[in-house]
Amino acid sequence: MSCFPQSGKTYPGSRLASRTVSVAGGVNIPATALLAVTGVMALPRVLRLLATVFTTILFLSIGAMAQCPPGAPGCPTFPPNNNPDCGTDRGAAVVTYSVTDTLRTIFSNGCPPYDWNGSKSPGPPGPNGTAEFAHAKQSQISFNIPRRPRIQADIGDALRLETVKGPVGQTLFGPPLFSPFDIMGRDALVFEGATFDSCGGHVAPGPDQYHYHSTPGDGAATRHRDSRNLDFDVCDQLNFWMQPDRRWWHSPLFGVMADGVPIYGPRGDWGQLPKNLDDCQGHKDTTHPYYHYHTTSNFPYLTTCLRGCMDPNIQRGRNWQGVNFPACNPGSDQAPYYWLDLEIPGLLSLFQYGGNNRKLK
């Protein structure tokens, strides 16, 4: 059970469970798969070579080399996450929402509302010495964003995300959103896509944080990334958040980015692909006449930049350290984003009480 500090006006949101379930979650890999990291140097030269080749092939086959297996040379280190494993059902996610005059805050335990065991991110050796896939663990997320985002007049002033490692957005159903880049600045879907589960997420080794690099729920992300299309295979567990009730409707709101700008799925007005997205994947349309982001099937999937002004007094987490926020030069035509004051708590309440398991029609 997770408890979060509350401030300002609060909403019960999607407090989907009062308990968490510890799960084994690991799929064993033969111990030889870790020899290159844990014991190769103690072997004769020929065996070292064979073990290293075997390890490299195995890690590449699950897209793990780009993810930096914990403890591997050159990989970043993280404080240990000693929290319990996430549960594996709809009640595993805990989300609450708070709003003040200037801030929105989404509190989350970081867990998805479904079984995360399909994620194939490499983890440390288990108790019996075999390698295990990383477990999704609970977090204490307090995601602060401006209540009234200000949009840069010139997209050249947008914050680029290539160097930001970690959360750059937050879903309304639990897990955070990462940029489309892996830890080495490459296309995460190309180099890590094989580790994604059937709902499009995976676990970051080290912090053991479940997250998304592309459209949440899309189990076909690696199969249709070569063009901009609507061939998404949304898992049933995220239909409520990612599918409109009708094919000719705009995609629903499912999260917010660190600049306070909301993000929607791939469908724009009349259920069609938006034609006028800028380089940050944002625009205004008839359904939502304020600046917002859309996900896409092809790169950058979520967004490569944040066009809303960034406030260093709000974004002070580890992932923002060393990032130079551009000066804020907003345009004259700014929306107040009043609609989000109703839409966010409304969606959280609907989902809490069963919601609507949408099937696209």
227 located within any domain: yes
Per-residue pLDDT band at 51 (split at 50, 70, 90)? very low
Is residue 318 over pLDDT 90? no
Q: How confident is the model at residue 42 (pLDDT cuts 50, 70, 90)?
A: very low
Determine the Cα–Cα distance for residues 253 and 347; give it in Å rounded to an integer. Answer: 8
Residue 357 lies in a domain: no
Question: Would residue 311 count as lying in a domain?
Answer: yes
Residue 338 has pLDDT above 50, yes or no: yes
Quote the pLDDT of residue 75: 56
Read off φ and ψ for residue 175, nearest 5 degrees: -75, 155
In a domain, 2, yes or no: no
> From residue 76, how far is each of 112, 205, 206, 240 by CA, in Å?
25, 10, 9, 36
Question: Is 79 a residue whose pLDDT tops 90?
Answer: no
How many CB atoms within 10 Å of residue 122?
26
Q: Looking at the domain assignment, is residue 17 inside a domain?
A: yes
Q: How many domains does the chain have?
A: 1
Residue 167's domain comprises 9-352
Q: Is it the case that residue 350 has pLDDT exceeding 90?
A: no
Burial of 73 (0-12, 13-18, 19+ CB in 10 A): exposed
In a domain, 359, yes or no: no
Query: Is it the case that residue 56 has pLDDT exceeding 50?
Result: no
pLDDT of residue 66: 44
125 vs 278, higher pLDDT: 278
Mean pLDDT lowest among 67-76, 201-210, 314-323, 331-340: 67-76
Q: Are strands 122-125 and 103-108 parallel, antiparallel or unpaired?
A: unpaired
* pLDDT mean over 114-136: 69
In angstroms, how far is CA 260 from the centroid of its own chain? Answer: 16
Whether 9 shows a pLDDT value over 80: the answer reads: no
User: Does the pLDDT value for residue 230 go beyond 50?
Assistant: yes
- For the stretch 144-187, pLDDT in tens is 999 999 999 999 999 999 989 889 999 999 999 999 999 888 99
Tell me the sheet residues that pair with 210.
203
Question: In whole angstroms, what is the distance from residue 160 CA to residue 264 CA?
Answer: 20
Give pTM, 2 decimals: 0.78
How much is the pLDDT for 315?
84
302 inside domain: yes
294 domain residue, yes or no: yes
Q: Considering the chain, what is the average pLDDT of its residues?
A: 80
For the residues 288-297, what does the mean pLDDT come to? 97
